[in-house]
Structure 1
């Protein structure tokens, strides 16, 4: 196996210069860098990442904790983070928390034990006090899709309350006044905020919030089916269904068609997130855009700026959702 000493001899440079090339230092001319890289290729030399990390106290790896690995939402999030970090020569280590406090803590402990230079975490079950304490440790920690009082500079977040407001207003503006709502789990901050925005839009239009037309789902298609089944079985009257995410909306649309609803003539439906399939289902789903891929890029930039000293990067901590109008809301004739 080739050694760094052999690379140094073949390239005709010092060991320090070879080390600077390996660590991508800018303090090496292009000509010298090419000589070293040519020598490494000729000898088949591969740097020992463990030795590098011990010498530099930097592993060039960032830990990511997400709730799940399945589904397009988290795929878009991780793709944004990974693309930004990979372009900067960094790698990611990914684990899951499954929206359970013990599993989220276990995942965080695992990533810290892998000597990650920083963590980007999407946590739903751990409380704010625990997360604030977590930022006091040696490993820098940043948060996706969550705003935490006291550590706002560590957070990349969406204005979910505004998103919930825009979703309800979209159906109200089309003349709907009998509006059902299928929420996500209410221990999740984004679900709470979307419901708060929904209620604000109703109150602004002097429409009542009906507990009969409210169902807590699971942020999955099963929640959409179960919620709509409950409303229909109780023979409740409503013309519009607001769903806390697109997966819920997809499940509700499937159940509605299975029970001979014509969409959107018999029932208008709106989702939230604007995940990839929302524009391919029938009718094309009107939804609220959650720029999670862009937010993933921004979380990675936050790490690059604060941990890897990429000082010229501009950071936007807060993102606003927007309405994406398609075909799933019908206008009510007055």
Structure 2
């Protein structure tokens, strides 16, 4: 295997000059840079990435921590982050936290140990106080789908309360007053905010919140399935179902069809997130758009601006959800 010394000899330049070329240092003329590149090509020399990072104090890698690797939601998030960083010549290292405090801490520590230049994390088990202390460390850290007071400029967030409000308001505007609600786990900030938005819409329309028409799900299809089953087994009267994400809406819709409930004629359903399958299930799911792919792009831009000094980048920190009106909500006469 060729060495940096052989490249230096063939190009007729110093080791320091070869190192500058490898690390894209601007203090090298174009003519000299080309001589080094030609020598590297001729010898088949490939720079050692670890040595590069030690020399430049930059690994050109960004750590990503998400709750899960399965599912369309996190796939869209990671795709947005990775494509933006790759276009800038950076790479990603990915691990998971499974919405568990200790596993999220382990994941963050692992990424820091990999000498990542920065971290982009989607965490649900860690407290704001812990994240504030973490942000004081030497590795820059940025947060997806969450706002933490005092470090707002490290956060890319969605107004989840507005999204929950829009979902329930859509049902109310279509004449539905008996509205069942399947929430996400209330330990998760986004699920809690969406539920607050749901109750806000009910209050605005003068409809009291009914504990019987509430079920706390798990953000998975089984949560929607089990929630709708619970409502039906109790013999409750409701014409519409608001789900805190599309996966639970899908599970509820499957259970409804399996039990002879016509959608949306007998039961209107709305989801949240607008993940890719929501437009392909039957009926096509009316949902609240969560632009997580775009937010992923923006989180990557935040890193490029603050860590890699790409000063010409404009960052948008907060995103608003919007209604995606499809076929799963009917209007009552």
Q: Tell me the TM-score normalized by structure 1.
A: 0.96
Give the RMSD, CA atoms, in angstroms.
Answer: 1.4
Distance, in Å, in 1 between the alignment partners of 2:252 and 2:303 is 39
- Determine helix, strand or coil for the equivalent of 1:212: helix
Distance, in Å, in 2 between the alignment partners of 1:210 and 1:29 is 73
Counting only pairs closer than 5 Å after superposition, residues 2-81 of structure 1 correspond to structure 2 as 2-28=2-28, 32-81=32-81
Poorly superposed stretches of 4+, deviation over 6 Å: none
Match of 2:274 in 1: 274
Runs of 5+ unmatched residues, structure 2 = none
The one-character-per-residue Cα deviations of 1:228-278 (angstroms, maximum 9, x if unpaired) are 000000010111100000000000000000000111101000000000000
The one-character-per-residue Cα deviations of 1:106-149 (angstroms, maximum 9, x if unpaired) are 11111111111111110001110011010111111110000001
Q: How many residues align?
A: 333
Residue 41 of structure 1 and its aligned partner are, at CA, apart by 2.0
Residue 14 of structure 1 and its aligned partner are, at CA, apart by 4.3
- Determine helix, strand or coil for the equivalent of 1:115: coil
Counting only pairs closer than 5 Å after superposition, residues 1-334 of structure 1 correspond to structure 2 as 1-28=1-28, 32-333=32-333
Q: Indicate the larger mover: 179-188 or 202-211.
A: 202-211
Runs of 5+ unmatched residues, structure 1 = none
Residue 33 of structure 1 and its aligned partner are, at CA, apart by 4.2
Residue 5 of structure 1 and its aligned partner are, at CA, apart by 2.8
- Describe the shift of the 1:309–1:205 C-alpha distance in structure 2 as closer, same or farther (beyond 3 A): same
The one-character-per-residue Cα deviations of 1:169-204 (angstroms, maximum 9, x if unpaired) are 111111111100000000000000000111111111
Distance, in Å, in 2 between the alignment partners of 1:6 and 1:87 is 31
Distance, in Å, in 2 between the alignment partners of 1:7 and 1:123 is 45
Residue 91 of structure 1 and its aligned partner are, at CA, apart by 1.1
- Determine helix, strand or coil for the equivalent of 2:53: helix
Distance, in Å, in 2 between the alignment partners of 1:24 and 1:329 is 56
Distance, in Å, in 2 between the alignment partners of 1:26 and 1:170 is 56
Distance, in Å, in 2 between the alignment partners of 1:78 and 1:26 is 32
Distance, in Å, in 2 between the alignment partners of 1:317 and 1:295 is 9
Distance, in Å, in 2 between the alignment partners of 1:91 and 1:70 is 21
Distance, in Å, in 2 between the alignment partners of 1:143 and 1:178 is 37
